[in-house]
Structure formats: C-alpha cells, structure tokens
Chains A and B, each alone.
Chain A
C-alpha cells in the first residue's frame, strides 16, 4: 500500500504538472480539491484519465468519482480493490 501511494503521488505530480512538488509534499489524507492541493475540475478529468490509463479503472458515476478522488488515501484504496492492469 505504501509503495502504491508513493507511485500514485508521483503519477499525480507528473500528470498535473505540479512543478516543484515532490511525493513527500503530498499528505495521504489531505483533500486534493479545494483546500490541500487546490486542484480544480479539469484536474479531476486528468485524474480519471490517470486511473484509466495506469490501472484500467473507469469511473462512470460522478458521485462515486468525487469520493474516490478526495485524497491520495481514498484513491489508493480504490485502486487496490479495483485495478485491472
């Protein structure tokens, strides 16, 4: 799980071009949107593409997506249970 979270953080940094940020700068439980990293709606689309491309996970339901993408912890847990790649 710890390895997955570290990999995921690096993928988020690369995918969203979070310049000057390192995986250790992202708190596992900090909210990704609004406060915390301060991501926006285009970033949420980028994160959905990241999940599909790297883990074969397609999020069809927007409400479910909101819960899954709320933090690195929730993303990692969902990936561990549902990854297809």
Chain B
C-alpha cells in the first residue's frame, strides 16, 4: 500500500511557551532555572463544563482543551476518529491514588483519581464532547508514542476511499515528584542550566523537564491544510551510520535532495549521550538549510515531538523563522520542505518530512 500524505488542517499545542495563543508565541520567551518547564495553562472553561472540570487534573483539562481547540480551528465538529498517545497518562491523578493507597491502608479510596488517571481518559472525553462514535485508539509507547499515533492516522487515511478527518495527538505531564524520580535515572541534568542555555551544557547527561499537549486535525484531503506530513520513520537506538542511512532513505522516498530541505527541526535535548546523533542530522544539512531547536523552550518529555511537529507546521503557516529557535541560518528564502529529526533520552530517533501546502 502506498502511504498518502497526512494533511494537517489545524494544530494546537499547550506548552511552556504561549503556543496556545499562536500570535503570542515567544512574546515573551519564557525561561526557567530549576529544570522544570511547566506549561502555561489557558482558560479551560471554554471547552469543559464547570460540573465536569472540578474533578479533572490539569493534564486532563489540557488534553481535552488542546484536542477540542484543534477541531474548532479546523471547523470539524465530529471527527471520523480519535487517536491519542501518552507515555505516562495523568501522573497527578496516579500519584494521588497511590498516596491514598498507602496512607489509607488500601481502604476508603477516592474513585475519581483512579478513574481519571487511566491512559484513555482524554480519548473518552474528546469522543463524548465531539460526539465521535468512530475509531478511538490510545497509544502508550514512550518516545515513539506520538509517532505511532500519526502512523496509525496515515494508515487509516491511506486506506480510506472517501475524505476523512481524524484528531491525532499526544500529551504528557510533569510533576515535582516525577521530576525527582527521573532525575535519579539521569533523565534530567544534575547541574541544571537556565533553559535557554540548555545546548551549552551538552557535555553532561540528561536534559531539562517539560510537559505539553499537542493535537492535530489531519485529513487525506488537502483542502484548508497548512502543511503535510509526507513520511515518518522510527529508528530504535540507531548508530550514527544507521541514522545517516535513515535520513538518506526518507529523503529518497520523497524525491528530495538535502539541498531541498529549507529547515531542519532538530529535537536536540542537551544530553551528551545523543550528541553524536544530533551532529549527524545537522552535518547532513546543506548551506540552504536553517536549523531550529525547540526543547530549550518546552523541555524534554516522551511526547515532546508534538512541540516539534507543531513548530514545523507553524513555520509553514507563517513562513517566518523566529530567531529564538534558530541555531544555524540557511540561505533558503522560504519554508517549503522541513526535515524533523527528534532524539529521545533513550537514544531513539524519529524522522518526519513535512511540506508546506499553499
């Protein structure tokens, strides 16, 4: 089966920068010194009624709002399917439930924390609010979670004989306790730099923490699309040579030479263990290519690639590359073809080719 491009009709991200209000993105730039880039919470009451909202954790509200806003912006009331990913689900609710389990000796436990902490809570709410009785799937695959959602959406839309719209996205949450635990396994840096200086500290292991919710209304119909995801590849702990081969393959699949790439969206995270992979992607660029980063703005988490894909779509939409994300300026005057290369702390890499749709 030939995979069709995934047309992105709308994109909504809730991150540590004001991506929710696209016009305020990076105005001003938000930075932190404690290694924890928590999101800017928008007004959640627009899409969630007051009776339901009182029981919801920030993560649940965030996922629902990003998903509904994406549908709203696409002008789609009821999508043909909902595909959502999360690496950890609602961590706050899980922590509440586990703490009560210990404190109350497994007796008289509050049900809300347990009910809302399940991985598919956001999917269920989105289905109810959008009245979607179609396909509803949850992916939980650590650093490849969003990628598998998008891959599933590509397969579905490639098989479809008629025009379809799907809501695809992912979310993950950072809590102080979660940050402490992950610091112990070298996920975050011991000596925490200011977030904007993250890449100057890529001689030590770990990154900085982040969280976010990213939703995309996608279709097999290019009408009203701003960009298209043409190809997607996942490489499990590749060597430098394997990553180079992966980049060559994905460009060849799309009949692109490296000179055709206007922007490289690079998911570098400041971790010394993935530095050689990042260098491979950057060294592969021609003089035409502008290299941009985003994890100094949103932090590292398992579904951070959502921020990268939102940024790729945003660059296609605006045709402007903000200096705050730029690490190398290329000669190309427009944003047509984007190569997105995301690296995770685990050493996995995902590659995407995103092209602007006029």
- Docked Cα-Cα span, A53 to B54, in Å, equals 21
CB proximity to B under 8 Å, residues A26-55: 38, 40, 42, 45-46, 49, 52-53
- Docked Cα-Cα span, A49 to B114, in Å, equals 14
Check A19 for interface membership: any CB of B closer than 8 A: yes
B109: chain A residues within 8 A (beta carbon): 49
Max chain A CB contacts within 10 Å: which of B54, B107, B115?
B54
- Docked Cα-Cα span, A16 to B111, in Å, equals 11
Check B51 for interface membership: any CB of A closer than 8 A: yes
Interchain CB contact under 8 A, A49 and B108: yes
B108: chain A residues within 8 A (beta carbon): 49, 52-53
Interchain CB contact under 8 A, A40 and B54: no
- Docked Cα-Cα span, A46 to B50, in Å, equals 18
Check A17 for interface membership: any CB of B closer than 8 A: yes
B107: chain A residues within 8 A (beta carbon): 52
CB contact between B110 and one of A18, A19, A49 (< 8 Å): that residue: A49
Max chain B CB contacts within 10 Å: which of A19, A38, A49?
A49
Main secondary structure, interface of A, reads: helix
Give min CB distance, A14 to chain B, whole Å: 11
- Docked Cα-Cα span, A4 to B54, in Å, equals 25
Chain B contributes a number of interface residues (CB within 8 A of A) equal to: 12
Interchain CB contact under 8 A, A42 and B115: yes
- Docked Cα-Cα span, A15 to B55, in Å, equals 10
- Docked Cα-Cα span, A53 to B51, in Å, equals 24
Interchain CB contact under 8 A, A17 and B51: no
Mark B106-147 against chain A: 1 for CB-CB distance below 8 A, else 0: 011111100100000000000000000000000000000000
B115: chain A residues within 8 A (beta carbon): 42
- Docked Cα-Cα span, A52 to B109, in Å, equals 10
Give min CB distance, A8 to chain B, whole Å: 16
Closest to A15 in B: B110
Interchain CB contact under 8 A, B54 and A46: no
Interchain CB contact under 8 A, B55 and A17: yes
B50: chain A residues within 8 A (beta carbon): 19
Check B1 for interface membership: any CB of A closer than 8 A: no
Closest to B53 in A: A19
- Docked Cα-Cα span, A45 to B114, in Å, equals 12
- Docked Cα-Cα span, A22 to B112, in Å, equals 22
**Could you pull out 5 A-B pairs where Cβ atoms are within 8 angstroms?**
A16-B55, A19-B50, A38-B51, A42-B115, A45-B111
A residues touching B (Cβ–Cβ < 8 Å)?
Answer: 15-19, 38, 40, 42, 45-46, 49, 52-53
Known pairs A17-B55, A49-B110, A52-B108; list 4 more (Cβ under 8 Å). A16-B55, A19-B50, A42-B55, A42-B111
The 9 A-B pairs with the shortest beta carbon distances in the complex, nearest first, are A17-B54, A52-B108, A45-B111, A53-B108, A49-B108, A49-B110, A19-B54, A38-B51, A42-B112
